[in-house]
A and B are shown apart, each in its own frame.
Chain A
Amino acid sequence: MGLRAEKVKKDFIRKSKDTNVFTAVHPVDLKLTGGTLTELCGRSGSGKSTLLNMLAGLLKPSEGTVYIDDIDIYALEDKALSKLRNEKLGVIPQGHSAISSLTVLENVLLPLSVYERHVDPAYAMELLDMVGIAHLKDAMPSELSGGEMRRMAIARAFVTKPSIVLADEPTGDLDDENTEIVLRLLKEAAQKGAAVLLVTHEKEANKYADRIYRMNAGKLDPVL
């Protein structure tokens, strides 16, 4: 169970030089199992986010296969893949990811309403409280700082109680205190049985990780 990538590779054709194929991710095998927090580090442009997007079913690999609970996700129709993503995955994309017309609380509750699942505002408030922005539940995203928006995205990723969490630089805009809170939250999710992948630059994350990989020029190397 969990997430498994086999020989996953991603090539991009550079538009300016249409014969030039750029390999962002060389064939990668990776397994994310429940109960573990896997850290993926590496320099900017090394292919970390590309790999994460392929694992999340958001970017079709040029080669290879991604399995979630033994289901080849890229063999699924978009409708089934989207539903599976909503049910199984909690994705924290890099950068700002708020829906600007919804309040903080509505943003957090939104994933539950896409497939009309049970909406639990109390749990959403609990998550907002954990990331320290409960008092901003009625605020609009335009009123939030970058760090507050990141925390909102983290709460939103957890609201569906996903079995797999894919977090792309979740602590990017956070201060040390909030970085600590978020890393602890991810660790707790892993301890509760989720398979967690953390893409980060934070050295602080090492102490929470069960396994560490480094991405270098599209190649994945185990560190721990």
Chain B
Amino acid sequence: MNLFKRLPLLNIQRKPGRSVALAVLSAFLAASVFAGSVIVSSLQSGLSSLEDRLGADIMVVPYSATTKSDLSNILLQGNKGYFYMDDQVLDQLSSIDGVRQMSSQFFLASANAGCCSFSVQIIGFDAKTDFVVQPWIRKSYQKPLETKDIIVGNDLNAFVGDTIRFYNVDCRVVGKLDKTGTMMDTTVYTSIPTCKLLMKSAYENKLNDFGNVDPDTVVSDVLINVDGEHNVEEVVNDINLHVKNVEAIKTKDMISGIAGSLQGVSRLIGILMACVWFLAIVILMVAYRMVTNERIREFAVLRVLGVSSRKLFSLILKEGMIIGLIGALCGVTAGALIVFPFHQMIESQLGLPYLLPSTARIVGLVLMALVVTVFTGGMAAAVSANRISKMDTGLILREDQ
């Protein structure tokens, strides 16, 4: 390649100290932008996954469950628990106007003892009426669940074909769910008959009394979808008014706290990213100004040799952009080495639904970080390049004597 065209590359290669210093600044920017974007995106994916998985407009739980707090502890925070209400509530709910779909669930918590392989939340669903769990369970297991068949969340150390013991009942793992970034990753799903069987076994073996309820006459919650003609709020009010000893909750209200926290964390990360970007651009501009001042005589010599101000601008800009690109690639790699291997630690520190985005989205974030960094490096170089290219060469040579 033509020597003059290679000059930006040669300047970078043969002046490694200068190039590395500038590249490190760019890398710092790229790492912050990329890691920050991945974390914000993971939080958004986690919330969206939680919304998808909750999948119902209304949840009805026993009033005694002090509703939101207990329920969100179990469903959102990953705490283990159970509560029950009379299954006659199903008849009462079915008579409420606007109820389009309805399905009950049965909660159990396994014990942290010899009778159980893990201490986990177990959720039983009614296969005939369920419209929430089965659509996403079908991705990992298409057949109907037999008694003692279970499907495990992604974070549990169990695989298809394994046998897991709950209250001295051996259950067969028939499926493993995709990662959701929520407490559902540590939950076991099964049919209601299996839940009842486990509860009875716990009674018989005196392992847990579960409040001495009769498993054949209770449910834990009822999930409801509202038809298009009714407002969810109205149906919730109707249930709370007409069905005794239960509390109907809008699922959106239940996750609004999480959405709020997520928005807060995302905003904080966004502000940090903006600060890093602002600092990086200021530092890069100062650094480029210092570097170009140091090289001002060289630039004047290039003008003496017939390099036009436009060519000189382009040379400095090209050099800045190449350094920016090298820094950006290193920075994105460093960012990836933080956010991917340590994603579980980040998840537990944030305490919010956290699901790494899809590969396509990650590729998009990589490109975004590269573009932002190269643009910033280029811009910082361009400011100096513009100043240098407009200076009078004769004056530079004169002042440098």
Contacts and interface: CB of A to CB of B under 8 A. Distances in A.
B172 interface: no
Interface residues of B, number: 33
Contact of A101 (B5, B15, B306, B394): B15
B3 A109 contact: yes
B360 interface: no
Contacts of B307: 82, 86, 114
Nearest to B5: A113
A53 B394 CA distance: 6
Contacts of B311: 82, 114
Contacts of B395: 59
A85 B306 contact: yes
B3 A113 contact: yes
A116 interface: yes
Interface in B309-352: 309-311
Given A58-B393, A110-B305, A97 B401 contact: no
Interface string A93-106: 11111111110001
A50 B395 CA distance: 9
A102 B15 contact: no
A79 interface: yes
B304 A91 contact: yes
B397 A113 contact: no
A106 B7 CA distance: 10
A119 interface: yes
Given A49-B397, A59-B394, A95-B400, A83 B301 contact: no
Contact of A83 (B300, B308, B392, B398): B308
A31 interface: no
23 contacts: A53-B398, A54-B394, A58-B397, A60-B392, A79-B310, A82-B308, A85-B304, A91-B304, A93-B300, A93-B301, A95-B401, A99-B301, A101-B7, A101-B10, A102-B3, A102-B7, A110-B4, A110-B7, A113-B2, A113-B3, A114-B4, A114-B306, A156-B305
Given A53-B397, A97-B304, 20 more contacts: A53-B393, A53-B394, A85-B305, A86-B307, A87-B306, A91-B305, A94-B397, A97-B297, A98-B301, A99-B7, A99-B301, A100-B295, A101-B7, A101-B11, A101-B15, A102-B10, A106-B3, A109-B3, A111-B305, A115-B306
Complex A-B, nearest 6 residue pairs according to Cβ-Cβ distance, in ascending order: A86-B306, A59-B394, A53-B394, A82-B308, A113-B3, A58-B394
